[in-house]
A and B are shown apart, each in its own frame.
Chain A
Amino acid sequence: MILRLLFVLFLCLGTALGQKPDKTIDLGQFPAETVDNVVIPVPSEIFTVLDKLGNPNWRGELGPEENYPASPNRTQVALLLGTVIADGFVAVEAEDSERVKKIGRNVLTLAEAINVRKSVVARSNSIIEKADAREWNAVRREFDGALQDVNQAMLELNDAQLAQLVSLGGWLRGTEVLTSIVKDKYSRDRAELLYQPMLVDYFNRQLDQMSPRLRRQQLVGEIRKSLGRIGPLIKKSRPSEISEETVTEINALATQMVELIRAKAG
């Protein structure tokens, strides 16, 4: 511990020696990088902010209590897996340990259908164990980790497009919940959380670049269409000026997409 503190002190000593950064830069210098290198936030980042914005009715946001069968359609399963992991965060916020455990098992079933079961077995077991112990922060971290593990496993299987669909499914369900909570008790502070233009562009770009086989799927086509409508809604406002009406519109679109994903996969 002392060694670590000394290490941090050693690093901090460097502050005075460092060159001063430019006050402004021309982002046009980095056109390719800003497109390719994108940090997608993990759901915890949003939920930690939501924690501070009052006490939402998380139980009211829980999705349907279903056991999803393993569908042979990997596109649908990938999207559904993302939504189920996002459901896990809602169940954690609602402190519903039984629901969390059920979601943990659903994650395992869906992961199996897309050949990444092995990568999430440990996470799933840990989710169940920590939900039993009601260690909610730990459960959140496990769900974050499950999302990352699934993505990584798919990348290793050269299935980057499916990995993107898992992320997209999670983002859509997260957006549905977030907009529902914000419109339930609207404030500009809450609505600002929706200001994610870069992510909308990123997911749109990913869908545009998918293989023709995937793009031809009706579900993917519907999502592309709806996502194309969310982008302008978010971008038309400044971060602190997203209106209640806009929140309601985005919520309707996100809800429609999540329902479609569940219906196709169920």
Chain B
Amino acid sequence: MNRPASRFRWPAALLALLLAAPAGRAFVDDALSFAYEAANPYAERGWIIREDAWGGDLGQGDKKAVTAQLFRGNSYMFFLATDIDGAALRVNIYDAEGNLAESKSWQRGRFAYAEIKPRSTGTYYAIVEIISSPEERTGWALVYGFQRK
């Protein structure tokens, strides 16, 4: 059964997990560490990285949608990561009609990235997918940032 994706904050989420975490949440938190580590260089290049994040766990081939209100005039980046060695995942951004809307995206193993400069203000969907994984369930974490561009 899919665990629902949850929104959590770093480092408050880490503290909570250290105190009394179900096993599933622990690897989600590890995934979060990887996601923030990957996003850090972007913060140094002027992106504002949100302090809260989204995460959960999925089986191979499963997808999850995270809904976002984005504003024309900003650029947005979504960084997805897992701590599972050998897993491959990706994130892509679609508009409210289901059309691919990102300006660029890439995926490499446990990291994936998508960037969008919205053509119009409105609702967008970050679709998170586990392409392959050696584990039955793969914890994932999504962090998101924006900048004026």
Contacts and interface: CB of A to CB of B under 8 A. Distances in A.
B74 A49 contact: yes
Contact of A46 (B5, B71, B105): B71
A49 B72 contact: yes
B16 A37 contact: no
B107 A18 contact: yes
A45 B144 contact: no
Chain B, interface size category, equals: 35 or more
Contact of B148 (A39, A48, A196, A199): A48
Contacts of B67: 33-34, 37-39, 198
A231 interface: no
B54 A156 contact: no
A5 B90 CA distance: 21
Contacts of B92: 21-22
Interface string A1-23: 10011011011111101110111
Contacts of B108: 10-11, 13-15, 17-18
A37 B91 CA distance: 15
B44 interface: yes
B66 interface: yes
B12 A152 contact: yes
Contact of B66 (A12, A29, A39): A39
B125 interface: yes
Contact of A156 (B12, B104, B112): B12
B148 A195 contact: no
Contacts of A39: 54, 66-69, 126, 144
A37 B65 contact: yes
B22 interface: no
A8 B67 CA distance: 26
> B interface, by DSSP: helix, strand, loop or mixed?
strand
A115 interface: no
A65 interface: no
Contact of A45 (B42, B74, B123): B74
A49 B73 contact: yes
A36 B70 CA distance: 17
A90 B53 CA distance: 26
B66 to A, nearest CB: 4
B22 to A, nearest CB: 16
A253 B102 CA distance: 35
Nearest to B146: A45
Contacts of A193: 71, 121
A13 B126 CA distance: 22
A126 interface: no
Contact of A49 (B68, B99, B120, B148): B148
B21 interface: no
B133 to A, nearest CB: 15
Interface string B34-63: 000010111010001011101000000001
A49 B92 CA distance: 23
Contacts of A38: 66-68
Contact of B100 (A23, A40, A52): A23
A30 B44 contact: no
Interface in B101-149: 102, 104-109, 111-113, 120-123, 125-127, 131, 144, 146-148
Most interface-central of B99, B108, B112 (chain A CB within 10 A): B108
A27 interface: yes
A69 interface: no
Interface string A174-195: 0000000000000000001101
Contact of A36 (B4, B38, B109, B123): B4
A148 B69 contact: no
11 contacts: A14-B108, A21-B92, A21-B102, A37-B4, A39-B126, A41-B69, A45-B74, A48-B148, A198-B67, A239-B122, A240-B120
Give me the 5 closest cross-chain CB pairs, A-B, nearest first. A14-B108, A15-B106, A30-B65, A49-B73, A39-B68
